[in-house]
Structure 1
Amino acid sequence: MATPNPDRRSERARRAILDAALELCSTETYARLTMEGIAKQAGVGKQTLYRWWPSKAAILLEAIEERAANTLEFPDTGDLAADLHTQLHALVRTVTDPLFAAYSKGLIAAAQSDPAISDALLNALIRPRVQLCLTRLTKAQQAGEIRPEVDLPTVVELLYGPVYYRLLLHTAPVTTTQVNTTINLVLTAIRP
């Protein structure tokens, strides 16, 4: 009789834990989510969770990172406007997903008082996206599509800031129309 592969078992348990955490976030607030609840939902012992993650925030961050990975890609078709639209529309689809809203808001709130969560959230979601955008904008600037004196980190903030402003402060819905307007305004301001 063959012995089960422990790596495959571990991956199944890890996947069950990440899925359980996301599933629970659709019915529980972040504050009410517990390691015990995640373990029970995943069908594993609590010690299994702590073997891989120090906290519920760490579990959710990994789950979010995996979910967001497919929206992280920043296309480079040679058309800066089209590439910005593609990338920012993917962001809108992600942040308007009800499941994303359920778990991200709790994590963002927790990040305000916990520097470790804040740094992990920045490293998992924000900094990679910023770096990809900066890389694409730098290429466009080198190609003469953006004026040489334009500060590219500021351009990134101008592009992404309105999405997160609306998401976090609920001033208005996050929409592709809003993103299109933002992109058009920013491109008008930075082009030669």
Structure 2
Amino acid sequence: MAPTKAPDSSRRSDRSRRAIHDAALALVAEVGYRRTTIEGIAARAGVGKQTIYRWWPSKAAVLMDAFLDLAGRAAEDAGAGDTGESAPGIPDTGDLVADLKLVLRATVDELNDPALEAPTRALTAEGIVDAKLGAEFVHKLLDPQLALYVTRLRAAQEAGDVRADVDPRIALELLIGPLMHRWLLRTLPLTHAYADEIVEYAVGGLAPRT
């Protein structure tokens, strides 16, 4: 008789982690951050509560990890058709307007994606009243993304497409701020056309004066 193969514990752990991530995201979308509990996540994922506490110290840590995993998977799916070998980030084709429009359109798609929208809104709202969670959300998710804009705008400065006196960190807020404002308030539809207009208006003010 052939020897019985031992269960793959790492694969089982991966399945459990994914089930916990999915359960956490589903609950926060359905009942909100405050009503989501470790007990609820465990029941939804079909695991013991101690399994969650073995990997994460708190509900906030579970949700943050789940959201970062979701965002990472979304980014991988978005780049699945890209056969280029360039590093991840904002493209640098030499056309700043076209590059920024491409990225802002992708941001619009992410904000409008039902799978991402609910947990993003929940964590954004809770981050306003929970300073620690808000700081972690900014540090782990927002800052790495904003750094890509800074890098692209600095390259544009070196190429002479953006004024040398422009602060890239402030300039990127001209691009991201309007999108987030419209998304948070839900006053008007968030569209590619709107993203394009933001880029046109912002870059027009960043270009060297003649």
Larger deviation, residues 3-12 vs 153-162: 3-12
Counterpart residue number, 1:157 = 173
CA distance in 2, matches of 1:167, 1:143: 33
C-alpha contact (below 8 Å) 1:31/1:106 kept by paired residues: no
Task: Tell me by how many angstroms 1:136 deviates.
Answer: 0.8
Counterpart residue number, 2:186 = 170
CA distance in 2, matches of 1:96, 1:125: 18
Q: How many aligned residue pairs are there? A: 192
Counterpart residue number, 1:104 = 120
Matched, 1:35 2:38: yes
CA distance in 2, matches of 1:116, 1:54: 14
Q: State the percentage of identical aligned residues.
A: 43
Task: Tell me by how many angstroms 1:139 deviates.
Answer: 0.8
CA distance in 2, matches of 1:173, 1:59: 31
Counterpart residue number, 1:82 = 98
CA distance in 2, matches of 1:132, 1:103: 23
Cα deviation digits, residues 42-82 of structure 1 (max 9, x gap): 11111111122223322222222223231684222222112
Counterpart residue number, 1:13 = 16
Cα deviation digits, residues 129-178 of structure 1 (max 9, x gap): 11011011111111111111112111111000011111223332322222
**1:54–1:154 CA distance, 2 compared to 1 (3 A):** same
RMSD: 1.8
The unaligned stretches of length 5 or more in structure 1 are none
Task: Tell me by how many angstroms 1:95 deviates.
Answer: 1.0
The unaligned stretches of length 5 or more in structure 2 are 79-87
SS in 1 for 2:143: helix
2:27 maps to amino acid: L
1:65 maps to amino acid: L
Length-normalised TM-score, structure 2:
0.84
